[in-house]
Chains A and B, each alone.
Chain A
Amino acid sequence: MNGATPKLKEFARRLLAHNAAWDKPAGTKDPENFPVCEKLREPLSKLTGVGGFRSLLSRALALSGEEISWLRALHIKADGSLEGLEKLEMKSEPRDIAEGEVVLVAQLLGLLVTFIGPALTAGLLHDIWPKMSDLDF
């Protein structure tokens, strides 16, 4: 079941841009790999437990790997963070890496929407990114 609709992907793209704009001064390098995934990790782990978050992320990774094959090379660590991006970054264009995150985030949000519905998912995102407007997906 692929929950990453074009609308969700578009939303994920906006979310990445919003996060980048509010997180660091323009032009500086992002200190984290897949920063939106990383930001989702803590609140989602609090809600579902680390195990719960890892389950969701592994499913999202599997689904997004069907679209962007290099994502299959990523692994989820015990704490729910991603590993393996550093190696990929050396081989890939930053634009491709960013698109990979868009697809992964869209799949992750798609799973949340499937489980708890758009209203609760939007509420959850609002708590993490309170300045993000238009949480319509």
Chain B
Amino acid sequence: MKKKMTKTGKPSKKVASPHKVKIHQLPTGVRGLDEILGGGLPEFSFNIVAGAPGCGKTTLAHQIIFANATAQKPVLYFTVLGEPALKMLRYQQQYSFFDPAKLGKAIRFINLSDAVLGKDLSGILEEITKEVEASNPSIVVVDSFRTVARKAQGNNTEMELQTFIQNLALFLASWHATTFLIGEYTDAEMRDNPAFTVADGLFWLTQNVERNSVVRKLQIIKLRGQGSVPGLHTIRITGDGLQAFSRTLGLVGKKLNSNRRRLLSIGMPELDKMMGGGILEGDSVLVAGPSGTGKSTLATQFLTEGLRRGESGIAAIFEERPEGYTARAASFGLDLSTPQRTGKLEMIYLRPLDLSVDETMQEILDAVKRLNAKRLVIDSLVGFEMALAPGFREDFRESLYRMIAALTGAGVTILTTVEIEDNFTSMQFSHYAISFLTDDIIRLRYVEIEGQLRKVMVVIKMRGGNHSKDIREYIINHKGMAVIGPRHTEYARLTTGLPERIGQTKEAAPEPKAKSVEA
């Protein structure tokens, strides 16, 4: 074996390089936030949580402290002339993460108002130092730090504040404390604020009203020592506190092995044949058509066929309540009640009008995980878009791209319906120009034939293989949707909806025509 030589020609000695410092990470206690931060909060870091009132700063801080505080590693929470501690406790205890047993020993609230009112910055530092030395906390929160910073006075304000922050950061890091300074700041204040320069982490929370919807977002402007996910992430505040939805949610995940993908039956043998045997597992199928053409029926058949084969499914519905959806399926002889009871099918009904796609995606991904679901129906894209806050509608296509990638990446086969208006000059697939997001497209439409408004379907595209190019007439009866008969060869221009007869009619109409009234 050849020895590696140095430039001088002597064999090189393998010198063990010193290990890098390992930065431990603390959990935030906020669902989704650890992933955004790149694993968690860097231990001993000095952080600022900033934003306008009502963004969730204090709630975020409380989630962090309740997730980490123990009697051995207590938390000191300094309150300063902001929200009185009694009121803070009154409101924060409404959240599910609030554990009253931790107050006192694991979490200690200390009011600094008197120190702030009566002393200068060095006096305040002294006060904090005294408490930290007495408790040896693992986390220190100052809420609101903005009030403390206002204490800087005289001609040398900036220098005084910078020195105070520097000393505070150094002292707290030396005492192995991870620190959070909470403050109400505006974007403009970010540039020259000495606190922001010293901080290792800067968490920016915003709350915007878009038309009638409120949208809360979080940005990790900086986080030293680890890679966080850049950009604006949606957050929602519920009874469980904050929940964060990474804007890259779902993009990192397992991918299906393309060599082992099965063909899934849609529950209509003729349509399966048209699709070359069925839908390729992990595909995204778009079913587009006008109102009444049976998109939801087709979607339900796709689900029930999966259930019949032992595959769990999820229906994310936006236009109809689960009870109505289930009842309508029952009228076609399709049972959605039993699998819901047995846990094989879950109906997700989301209609709050200020949703983000990320929240919906999280909800669906959770359900997929819970049920180990193989089939998903999204019924419909139009309803989905309506459920979103106006600001999110602008990003609908990008969000859909992420959502479909995340779900198909997780091995789920998706059937999405989209309502489109038929015009009688052309045939569009969707309003959203999202056909590039889907692997397969099935188009349903009305055509006028011999005084009847009949229905036809055609498989427009199948990314995974060949498919029938036939335009097939179908009917919806009490058993659901049935593709009937061979293709019409006696008509041309069926796709316009106003076909021309080019041959003799050999077939009877699929559904009886009204009898002519005798004079």
* 9-residue interface stretch from A61-69, A92-100, A101-109, A123-131: A123-131
In B81-131, which residues have CB < 8 Å from any A CB? 84-87, 89-90, 93, 100-101, 103-105, 109-114
Task: Tell me the complex Cα distance, A119–B93, Å.
Answer: 10
Determine which of B85, B100, B113 lies in contact with A119 in the assembled complex, contact meaning CB atoms within 8 Å: B100
Given A115-B86, A116-B86, does the pair A47, B111 have CB atoms closer than 8 Å? yes
Instruction: Tell me the minimal C-beta distance from A86 to chain B in angstroms.
Output: 27
A115–B90 CB distance below 8 A: yes
Task: Tell me the complex Cα distance, A116–B88, Å.
Answer: 9
Q: Which residue of B lies closest to A43 (CB)?
A: B104
Main secondary structure of the interface of A (DSSP, over half): helix
Contacts of A51 in B (CB 8 A): 113-114
Task: Tell me the complex Cα distance, A46–B85, Å.
Answer: 10
Task: Tell me the complex Cα distance, A52–B101, Å.
Answer: 23
B110–A52 CB distance below 8 A: no
A116–B111 CB distance below 8 A: no
A123–B101 CB distance below 8 A: yes
Instruction: Tell me the minimal C-beta distance from A81 to chain B in angstroms.
Output: 15
Contacts of A127 in B (CB 8 A): 104-105
Instruction: Tell me the minimal C-beta distance from B101 to chain A in angstroms.
Output: 7
Task: Tell me the complex Cα distance, A115–B88, Å.
Answer: 10
Contact of A45 with B by CB under 8 A: yes
Task: Tell me the complex Cα distance, A1–B419, Å.
Answer: 59
Contact of A3 with B by CB under 8 A: no
Contacts of A35 in B (CB 8 A): none
Given A48-B86, A117-B93, does the pair A126, B111 have CB atoms closer than 8 Å? no
Task: Tell me the complex Cα distance, A124–B100, Å.
Answer: 10
Contacts of B85 in A (CB 8 A): 47-49, 52
| A to B contact number (C-beta, < 8 Å) | 55
Instruction: Tell me the minimal C-beta distance from A48 to chain B in angstroms.
Output: 5
**Interface residues of B, Cβ cutoff 8 Å to A:** 79, 84-87, 89-90, 93, 100-101, 103-105, 109-114
Contact of A120 with B by CB under 8 A: yes
B114–A116 CB distance below 8 A: no
Q: Which residue of B lies closest to A52 (CB)?
A: B84
Task: Tell me the complex Cα distance, A127–B86, Å.
Answer: 17
19 further A-B pairs in the complex, CB-CB below 8 A; given A46-B109, A48-B84: A45-B111, A46-B111, A47-B86, A48-B86, A49-B79, A49-B84, A49-B112, A49-B114, A51-B113, A52-B85, A52-B86, A112-B86, A115-B86, A115-B89, A115-B90, A116-B86, A116-B89, A119-B93, A120-B100
Q: Interface range on chain A: under 10, 10 to 19, 20 to 34, or 35 or more?
A: 10 to 19
Task: Tell me the complex Cα distance, A115–B113, Å.
Answer: 20
B100–A47 CB distance below 8 A: no
A52–B90 CB distance below 8 A: no
Determine which of A49, A112, A115, A117 lies in contact with B111 in the assembled complex, contact meaning CB atoms within 8 Å: A49
Given A46-B111, A48-B111, A50-B114, does the pair A123, B87 have CB atoms closer than 8 Å? no
B111–A120 CB distance below 8 A: no
Q: Which residue of B lies closest to A119 (CB)?
A: B100
Contacts of B114 in A (CB 8 A): 49-51
In the complex, 20 of the A-B residue pairs with CB atoms within 8 angstroms, ordered by the A residue number, are A45-B111, A47-B110, A47-B111, A49-B84, A49-B113, A51-B113, A51-B114, A52-B84, A52-B85, A52-B86, A52-B111, A52-B113, A115-B86, A116-B93, A123-B100, A123-B101, A123-B104, A124-B104, A127-B104, A127-B105
In A28-50, which residues have CB < 8 Å from any B CB? 45-50
Contacts of B90 in A (CB 8 A): 115-117
Task: Tell me the complex Cα distance, A46–B79, Å.
Answer: 10
B93–A47 CB distance below 8 A: no
Task: Tell me the complex Cα distance, A112–B111, Å.
Answer: 16
Task: Tell me the complex Cα distance, A40–B449, Å.
Answer: 88
Task: Tell me the complex Cα distance, A119–B90, Å.
Answer: 11
A120–B93 CB distance below 8 A: yes
A120–B84 CB distance below 8 A: no
Contacts of A119 in B (CB 8 A): 93, 100
Contacts of A115 in B (CB 8 A): 86-87, 89-90
A47–B104 CB distance below 8 A: no
Task: Tell me the complex Cα distance, A50–B116, Å.
Answer: 12
Contacts of A120 in B (CB 8 A): 89, 93, 100, 103
Contacts of A48 in B (CB 8 A): 84-86, 111
Contacts of B105 in A (CB 8 A): 127
Task: Tell me the complex Cα distance, A121–B93, Å.
Answer: 12
Instruction: Tell me the minimal C-beta distance from B450 to chain A in angstroms.
Output: 75
Contacts of B104 in A (CB 8 A): 123-124, 126-127
Complex A-B, nearest 6 residue pairs according to Cβ-Cβ distance, in ascending order: A49-B111, A49-B113, A127-B104, A119-B100, A115-B86, A116-B89
Contacts of B112 in A (CB 8 A): 49
A46–B110 CB distance below 8 A: yes
Most buried by A among B85, B101, B112: B85
Task: Tell me the complex Cα distance, A81–B489, Å.
Answer: 99
Task: Tell me the complex Cα distance, A115–B407, Å.
Answer: 46
Task: Tell me the complex Cα distance, A123–B108, Å.
Answer: 12
Task: Tell me the complex Cα distance, A68–B148, Å.
Answer: 42
Instruction: Tell me the minimal C-beta distance from A121 to chain B in angstroms.
Output: 10
Task: Tell me the complex Cα distance, A88–B104, Å.
Answer: 36
Instruction: Tell me the minimal C-beta distance from B353 to chain A in angstroms.
Output: 34
Q: Which residue of A lies closest to B88 (CB)?
A: A116
Instruction: Tell me the minimal C-beta distance from A57 to chain B in angstroms.
Output: 13
Contacts of B100 in A (CB 8 A): 117, 119-120, 123
Most buried by A among B89, B93, B109: B89
Instruction: Tell me the minimal C-beta distance from B148 to chain A in angstroms.
Output: 14
Task: Tell me the complex Cα distance, A52–B114, Å.
Answer: 10
